[in-house]
Amino acid sequence: MNKRQLGTSNLYISKIGLGCMTLGTEQQKATEIIDRALDSGINYLDTADLYNFGTNEEIVGKALKGRRDQVVLGTKVGNHFDAQKEDWFWDPSKSYIKEGVKESLRRLQTDYIDLYQLHGGTIDDPIDETIQAFDELVQEGVVRYYGISSIRPNVIRQFVERSNIVSVMMQYSLFDRRPEEEVLDLLHQNQISVLARGPLAKGMLSDKGMEKVEEKAQNGYLTHSYEEVKDMVHSLQEHTDQNRTLQALALQYVLGQPGVASAVFGASSVEQLEKNISMLEASPLTEDLYKTLQEKTRPIVYQKHR
């Protein structure tokens, strides 16, 4: 599988990555999905300390025994949680980040994290303190590089200007084109990569598109109404055939944007994983088809989501 450089780092990650949040809590099943992903050439795995209140990291750590050197491993911090109470609160303080990394390392059964990400962020955070914590972890060698997971332009701009982030993970799909308004160009100009999460828009951009629309968009999706989502799915399906599925179109669109290093999707079964991997066999998007996909979807006004 082709790999792309993550920002200015020396990490090269597969152009599709595995988001581990949907693996579930059965170790054997999760290990089978991860093994299949690695065998297919996927080398980027993304988790977070908050997922299942630490259990997800533990499952990933066990699944990677003997294969850690094959993986670029990303996890996240910033949600101070109590696993016993299953409760959490936002905490981007230096002390919590320094404590959180120790716990993540323990759960993941590793002595380093390739990409450590701030799991959110607001403009009111102690940003300099947060940045200092990440910089120190890099100096200590327990973190190789760091980034943030955010869709907020004002927060992203602050980290671009003041930190050494190599990546920003953000929701991005044909149904959520907010990043195109002002963030993608900013990051590309600063050699900071995008990790696109949710590229299939909760499955509405998969081969079960209309089924998922009925399940996920009865009350609309973001600022799109239910009818708009249905119309967009129908319109996009006109450009699919036996060689290019709807999910191939969706993933190729996101990956066609300059600066996007990887489209990170979840999988709860090996079958689901393989359907996403199959998009790699589709022919590249032509410039005309790329423009057509833009014309047939409706951008969301970023101003409403700051």
- Which pLDDT tens digit goes with each residue over 26-37? 999 999 999 999
Indicate the angle between helix axes 127-140 and 153-162, nearest 10 degrees: 50
**101-105, 188-192, 222-226, range with the lowest pLDDT:** 222-226
Stretch 232-238: mean pLDDT: 94
pLDDT reading at 114 higher than 60: yes
Of 51, 145, 172, 221, catalytic:
51
Which one is predicted more confidently, 281 or 249? 249
Rounded distance between C-alpha atoms, residue 158 and residue 178, angstroms: 18
Stretch 147-176: mean pLDDT: 96
The encoded tokens of residue 175 equal 């149904």
User: pLDDT band for position 300 (50/70/90)?
Assistant: low
**8-12, 15-19, 81-85, 116-120, range with the lowest pLDDT:** 81-85
The encoded tokens of residue 168 equal 């920003």
Share of the chain above pLDDT 90, in %: 81
Q: Could you confirm whether 51 is annotated as catalytic?
A: yes
The encoded tokens of residue 303 equal 């101003």
Nearest to 145 by CA among 6, 3, 48, 17: 6
Share of the chain above pLDDT 70, in %: 98
User: pLDDT band for position 301 (50/70/90)?
Assistant: low
- Taken in order of first residue, the domains within the chain and their CATH numbers are 3-204+251-285 (3.20.20.100)
pLDDT reading at 304 higher than 50: no
Which residues, 6+ apart, have CB-to-CB distance to 170 below 8 Å? 149, 150, 151, 179, 183, 194, 195, 196, 197
Nearest to 188 by CA among 168, 158, 163: 168
Rounded distance between C-alpha atoms, residue 228 and residue 234, angstroms: 10
Could you tell me if 165 and 148 are in contact, meaning their C-beta atoms sit under 8 angstroms apart?
Answer: yes
**92-101, 135-144, 235-244, range with the lowest pLDDT:** 235-244
pTM assigned to the model: 0.93
Q: How far is CA 22 from the centre of its chain?
A: 12
The encoded tokens of residue 279 equal 């998009």
Rounded distance between C-alpha atoms, residue 219 and residue 225, angstroms: 7
User: pLDDT band for position 53 (50/70/90)?
Assistant: confident
Considering the chain, what is the average pLDDT of its residues? Answer: 92
pLDDT reading at 88 higher than 70: yes
DSSP string, 17-84: EEEGGGG-S-HHHHHHHHHHHHHHT--EEE--TTGGGGHHHHHHHHHTTTTGGG-EEEEEE-EEEETT
Q: What's phi and psi for 153, nearest 5 deg?
A: -60, -40
